[in-house]
Amino acid sequence: MRQQRRKFLKGASKAAVAAVAAPYVMRGYAADPVNIGGLYPSTGGMAQIGQGCVVAAKMAVEMVNNAGGVKALGGAKLNLILSDVQSDTTVTRTETDRLISGNKLTAVHGCYASALTLIASEVCERAKVPIITGSSTDQLNKGRHFTFTPFARASQFARAQLQMAKLVADKPKVAVVFENTAFGTATSNGLKELAPGEGVEIVMFEPYSAGFTDAGPLINKVKASGANMLFSVSYLNDLILIVRTVKQVGLNIAINGGSGGFVIPDFYKNVGKAAEGLLGVAHWNHDVNDAAEKVNAEYKKRTGEFIFEYAGGLVAQTYMLVDAMERAQSADPVKVRDALASLDASSGYAAMAPGGKVKFGPDGKNVYGHPVGVQWQNGDLVSVFPKEDARKPLLKT
């Protein structure tokens, strides 16, 4: 009797453990969300950009979740945890630290401005959490192991601008004005270094304080330089002021606004017809391929505007993270980092980049990454350069 009782209790104990453990394992596998951090400046001087990025980040998560979530994790849904870095470098450090320490994160994306992203990436590196970003400064790829940059680098923007200058003038004489930040300095230095090899003469190379209120003295220097083309390496508000001042003083000069503020819908809203025909470069544009056009259509429904480069790029980045999780079959940040390092996408939303390919090298750069030359035509920003990426012909003005 005692032996039978022991067998009964042992069997009952196993059954009880199985009854408790089985549902727990299934819940943990099928229902636990995957936390993704999003660091964007929703307030401060870059708030307009940051708010657009937030809309795009939420949209990307909805797209993934509506399509079944992360299938390798039992259909786990993405959970976007946003943090406002307030357009401030000090806040960026504290918010990145708080976001990582206060949440079980698989990865992070952000922050738009290179100066902010450099700081966020430092924190992510220490915490061993991968960060994927559209920020362009080449410094992000120096000594980093958890930082991934799937789009063009600042030095590549410079070469594209110089090559585009020769589409406008046979002998380009360029005035370069740039804001004194990580983005402005990296891009302008690239222009200066590459210009001789591209047959472009730089006749003026002038930094200015970001956020200035009077562009008159700067544009007077441009006028006196004898330049036939102006490169302005600036974020939105500064670029608006520069273009308005060029028009106000009656300076007849071709302008390549580079990246940054030039490729934002609000640029056209603020300068209107003065934007027509102006050139720029972008790491992403809403017409790069069919997937981008689908994303653009959905974003337009939500905002009434085309999706600008950084916002569109971060949708692609979200899918790159999902691709990594599917292959890693894990939400562990280190395993996802390793899967990102072996990403090789040539179709779908994860490959939604100029050229349609994303593959990371040892330094976290996309080996296929390159910018696309864009031009304002009839209130829209269209891809015009290089030839293989052009969606419409360049208009000479």
- Looking at the domain assignment, is residue 125 inside a domain? yes
Same domain, 299 and 329: yes
Mean pLDDT for all residues in the chain:
91
Which pLDDT tens digit goes with each residue over 332-367? Answer: 999 999 999 999 999 999 999 999 999 999 999 999
User: Which pLDDT score is estimated for 280?
Assistant: 94
The pLDDT score that the predictor gives to residue 31 is 60
Return the number of other C-beta atoms located less than 10 Å from residue 282's C-beta: 29
> 342 lies in a domain?
yes
* Range of weakest confidence among 168-172, 297-301, 330-334, 374-378: 168-172
- Residue 186, pLDDT > 80, answer no
Phi, psi of 375 (to 5 degrees): -145, 140
pLDDT digits (tens, 9 = 90+) for 105-120: 999 999 999 999 999 9
Same domain? For 239 and 379 the reply is yes
196, 226, 229, 231, 256 from 203: Cα distances, Å: 12, 7, 10, 11, 15
Rounded Cα gap, residues 11 and 391, in angstroms: 70
What is the per-residue pLDDT for 370?
97
Helix axes 114-127, 89-102, angle to 10 degrees: 30
pLDDT at 180: 87
Query: Is 113 a domain residue?
Result: yes
In a domain, 397, yes or no: no
Structure confidence at residue 23 (pLDDT): 34
pLDDT at 301 over 80: yes
Tokens 């939604």, located at residue: 352
- Separation of alpha carbons 307 and 296, rounded Å: 5
1 pLDDT exceeds 80? no
**pTM for this structure?**
0.86
- In a shared domain, residues 45 and 142: yes
Q: How many domains does the chain have?
A: 2
Same domain flag for 78 and 108: yes
- 346: in domain: yes
Is residue 182, in this structure, part of any structural domain at all?
yes
Whether residue 19 is predicted with pLDDT greater than 90 in this model: the reply is no
What are the backbone angles phi and psi of residue 288, rounded to the nearest 5°? -65, -30
pLDDT above 50 for 49: yes
Residue 251, helix vs strand vs coil: coil
Q: How far is CA 256 from the centre of its chain?
A: 20
Residue 26: pLDDT over 80:
no
pLDDT at 16 over 50: no
Question: Distances from the Cα of 69 to the Cαs of 129, 163, 301, 335, in angstroms?
Answer: 21, 42, 23, 18
351 is a domain residue: yes
Q: What range defines the domain where residue 63 resides?
A: 34-152+289-366
- C-alpha angle with apex 53: 52 to 56, nearest 5 degrees? 90
The torsion angles phi and psi of 186, rounded to 5 degrees, stand at -65, -45
pLDDT surpasses 90 at 260: no
- On whether both 162 and 147 belong to a single domain, the answer is no
Q: Is the pLDDT of residue 18 over 90?
A: no
Distance CA 314, CA 49 (A): 13
For residues 315-332, average pLDDT: 98
- Are 277 and 201 within one domain? yes
How much of the chain, in percent, has pLDDT values that exceed 90? Answer: 79
Domain with 137 in it: what CATH number?
3.40.50.2300
Query: Packing angle between helix 290-303 and helix 309-328, nearest 10 degrees?
Result: 120
Q: Please count the other Cβ atoms lying within 10 Å of the Cβ belonging to residue 144.
A: 18
State how far the Cα of 40 lies from the Cα of 38, in Å rounded to an integer: 6
User: Who contacts 67 (Cβ-Cβ below 8 Å, separation ≥6)?
Assistant: none
57, 140: one domain: yes
Secondary structure (3-state) at 69: coil
Same domain assignment for residues 240 and 302: no
Mean pLDDT confidence for 28-48: 86
CB 44 within 8 A of CB 86: yes
Residue 174's nearest CA partner among 190, 155, 156, 151 is 190
Characterize 207-231 residue by residue with b for buried, 16 or more Cβ atoms within 10 angstroms of its Cβ, and e for exposed: bbebeeeebeebbeebbebebbbbb
Q: Tell me the per-residue pLDDT of 199-241, one tens digit each, with 9 for 90 and over.
A: 999 999 999 998 899 999 999 999 999 999 999 988 888 999 9
- Cα(25)–Cα(161) distance, integer angstroms: 55
How many CB atoms sit inside 10 A of residue 163's CB?
17
Helix (H) or strand (E) segment spanning residue 176: strand 173-179
384 and 251: one domain? yes
Q: With both helix axes pointing from N to C terminus, report the angle between 182-194 and 114-127 in degrees, rounded to the nearest 10.
A: 110
Compute the distance between CA of residue 139 and CA of residue 248 in angstroms, rounded to an integer.
37
Range of lowest pLDDT (49-63, 245-259, 285-299): 245-259
Displacement of CA 2 from its chain's centroid (Å): 70
- Residue 207, strand partner residues: 178
CA 45 to chain CA mean position, Å:
18
**233 and 378 housed in the same domain:** yes
Based on the fold, state whether residues 121 and 132 are members of the same structural domain. Answer: yes
12, part of any domain = no
**247 shares a domain with 212:** yes
| Beta-sheet strand order (sheet of 131-132) | 78-84, 34-40, 105-110, 131-132, 147-148
- C-alpha count within 13 angstroms, C-beta hemisphere, residue 15: 6
